[in-house]
Amino acid sequence: MANLEVDLGFLRLKNPVIAASGTFGYGDEVRDFVDPSILGGFVTKGLSIRPRKGNPPPRTCETPCGMLNSIGLENIGIDRFLEEKLPKISSLDTAIIVNIFGESIDEYREVAKRLRGVKEISAIEINISCPNVEKGGMIFGKDPYLSSKITEVVLNSSDKPVIVKLSPNVSDISAISKAVEKAGANAISLINTITGMAVDIETRRPVLGNIYGGLSGPAIKPIALYMTYSVVKSVSIPIIGGGGIMDYRDAMEFLIVGARAVQVGTANLIDPAICAEIIDGIRAYCEEKGIEDINEIIGSLKEERDG
Q: Does residue 196 bind ligand FMN (CB under 6 A)?
A: no
Q: Does residue 220 bind ligand FMN (CB under 6 A)?
A: yes
State which of residues 165, 169, 177, 207 lies at the interface with ligand FMN (CB under 6 A).
Answer: 165
Q: How far is the CB of 216 from ligand FMN (least distance, A)?
A: 3
Cβ pair 238, 9 in contact under 8 A:
yes
Catalytic residue list contains 130: yes
267 vs 246: CA distance, rounded Å? 5
Return the C-alpha torsion angle 121, 20, 107, 160, nearest 10: 30
Looking at beta carbons only, is 179 or 219 nearer to ligand FMN?
219
Q: How far is the CB of 292 from ligand FMN (least distance, A)?
A: 28
Amino acid at 111: V
Q: HSE of 195 in the Cβ direction (CA atoms, 13 Å)?
A: 17
# residues near ligand FMN by CB under 6 A: 24
86 to 125: interface string for ligand FMN, x by CB under 6 A: -------------x--------------------------
Residue numbers 125-154 binding ligand FMN by CB under 6 A: 127
285 to 304: interface string for ligand FMN, x by CB under 6 A: --------------------
Residue numbers 48-87 binding ligand FMN by CB under 6 A: 69, 71, 73
**In sequence order, which residues have a C-beta less than 8 Å from that of residue 306 and are 6 or more positions away?**
none
Angle (CA) 148-171-145 rounded to 5° is: 20
Q: How far is the CB of 155 from ligand FMN (least distance, A)?
A: 18
Helix (H, G, I), strand (E, B) or coil at 142: coil
**In sequence order, which residues have a C-beta less than 8 Å from that of residue 14 and are 6 or more positions away?**
4, 5, 39, 40, 94
Catalytic residue from among 65, 130, 275, 286: 130
248 to 287: interface string for ligand FMN, x by CB under 6 A: ----------------xxx---------------------
State which of residues 193, 235, 237, 285 lies at the interface with ligand FMN (CB under 6 A).
Answer: 193
User: What's the DSSP call for residue 218?
Assistant: G
Looking at beta carbons only, is 23 or 147 nearer to ligand FMN?
23
Residue, CB closest to ligand FMN: 22
Element spanning 123, H or E: strand 121-127
Please choose, out of 18-26, 197-205, 251-259, 292-300, the segment that lies near ligand FMN by the rule CB under 6 A. Answer: 18-26
Looking at beta carbons only, is 218 or 258 nearer to ligand FMN?
218
Q: 104-132 in b/e burial notation, b at 16+ Cβ within 10 A?
A: ebebbbbbbbbbeeeeebbbbbbbbbbbb
Helix (H, G, I), strand (E, B) or coil at 104: coil
User: What's the DSSP call for residue 81?
Assistant: I
Q: How far is the CB of 49 from ligand FMN (least distance, A)?
A: 15
* Closest C-alpha to 72, from 211, 267, 280, 199: 211
Cite the active site residues: 130
Binding site for ligand FMN (CB under 6 A): 20-23, 45-46, 69, 71, 73, 99, 127, 165, 192-193, 216-217, 220, 242-245, 264-266
